[in-house]
Amino acid sequence: MSRSWAKGSTRAWRRTRALVLLRDAGRGCRAHADGWCARVPGQHRCADVGEVAHHTLGRSVTGDDPRYIVASCSACNLHIGEPGRAADPPNRPVTAW
């Protein structure tokens, strides 16, 4: 769990998330439709359902401003990750058994 969610979500965040999901209801996965997934290399399978809220520019940049949050499916949200953050380095074996 990230440090920003260590104590759980706030009432304000749950309200913002509900607002975004209501605003984008019936539009499917906006993160995929708006092209946010195409900016990240790799493959995933979009469920085309708006079930989670995705911060398009990163929460550290925009906070919880609904103008920068879109409804996303879980697969796309996890695939995109935190925008602007460096990718994890490739796994390097330390020993050979």
Could you tell me if residue 12 is inside a domain? no
Question: How far apart are the C-alpha atoms of 54 and 17, rounded to whole Å?
Answer: 9
Select the more confidently predicted residue: 81 or 6. 81
Q: Tell me: the pLDDT tens digits for 36-49?
A: 888 888 889 999 99
Could you tell me if residue 76 is inside a domain? yes
| pTM summary value | 0.74
| Enclosing domain of residue 64 | 29-84
Could you tell me if residue 53 is inside a domain? yes
Six token digits for residue 47? 């469920």
Could you tell me if residue 19 is inside a domain? no
Could you tell me if residue 41 is inside a domain? yes
Q: Report the 10 Å Cβ neighbour count for 10.
A: 11
Residue 52 has pLDDT above 80, yes or no: yes
Question: How far apart are the C-alpha atoms of 90 and 54, rounded to whole Å?
Answer: 25
Question: How far apart are the C-alpha atoms of 78 and 15, rounded to whole Å?
Answer: 22
Domains: count for the chain? 1
Could you tell me if residue 61 is inside a domain? yes
Could you tell me if residue 60 is inside a domain? yes
The closest of 53, 55, 97, 45 to 76, measured between CA atoms, is 45
User: Which pLDDT score, from 0 to 100, does residue 82 have?
Assistant: 80
